Amino acid sequence: MSKELAGRTALVTGASRGIGAAIARELADAGARVVVNYCTHPSLARAVVEDIRAAGGEAEAFGANVADPSQVQGLVAFAVSRFGGVDILVNNAGVHHHQPVEELTLEEWHRLMAVNLTAPFILSQYVLPYMRRQRWGRIINISSIDAFAGTSVEAHYGTSKAGIVGLTRALALETASQGITVNAVAPGSIETDMLAVHSEERRAALVAHIPVGRLGRPEDVAYVVRFLASPRAEWITGQVIHVNGGEGFF
């Protein structure tokens, strides 16, 4: 495939495994230099970096808890010092757990919002000056089917992912005239650690509701992110691309 992102730098949060790791590898395959952000799995992040380098790409791992604004600032500063800026930001890091709404504490609500919604806002604030200066940039936010279909015992998660859609559209309007596009990808049921906890019966029930007949793979999401990051997607902004095999018919 072509190196359509050669000379660009991508920062991918939560990129040590799952969807984030697949996105990091795919953007590197397109020629981008990639900062692989991680929080709690340094060895996995290093493995992603090693994979990228073995394939002839450039990548660096950097640990930062995106719920901490000071660490976010350090993450962006690292990308700037190592690669000269951030051309592509992929806000992928997220947390998720099941909790009935009446049992959900305010602290749990705030913790999830800090990672899933506030961090993409802060990261966008930090990278936009570089993008505005060069009049080119891509911000790609990872939302979820749960933002549209709703989900039981995950009110906080679904709300955070719906917020991502609002943030995406607002930023798209603010930046469209400066060569910057802002889009979101909303995955359906993807084979990641979030699904690994489910029983075989639960997984079979999920597949039964997917017209394509299988769970998604992280690469299914990564291919869409690669396109949205590319010059070919310059007339697409403020959109949500659903990657779900027909699940929910979105």
pLDDT tens, position by position, 234-248: 999 999 999 999 997
130 is catalytic: no
Query: Residue 26's pLDDT band (boundaries 50, 70, 90)?
Result: very high
250 pLDDT exceeds 70? no
Average pLDDT, the chain: 94
- CATH class assigned to 9-243: alpha beta
Reported as half-sphere exposure (CB side, CA atoms, 13 A), residue 203 has a value of 14
Q: What is the pTM of this model?
A: 0.95
Reply yes or no on whether the pLDDT at 1 is more than 80: no
Question: Which of the following is catalytic: 38, 126, 157, 223?
Answer: 157
CA dihedral defined by 38, 99, 164, 188, rounded to 10 degrees?
A: 80
4 has pLDDT over 90: yes
Q: Which two structure tokens, joined as six digits, stand for 219?
A: 């690469």
Please give the average per-residue pLDDT across 83-90, as a whole number: 98
pLDDT tens per residue, range 166-215: 999 999 999 999 999 999 999 999 998 766 666 788 778 889 889 999 99
Tens-digit pLDDT profile for residues 118-167: 999 999 999 999 999 999 999 999 999 998 987 776 788 899 999 999 99
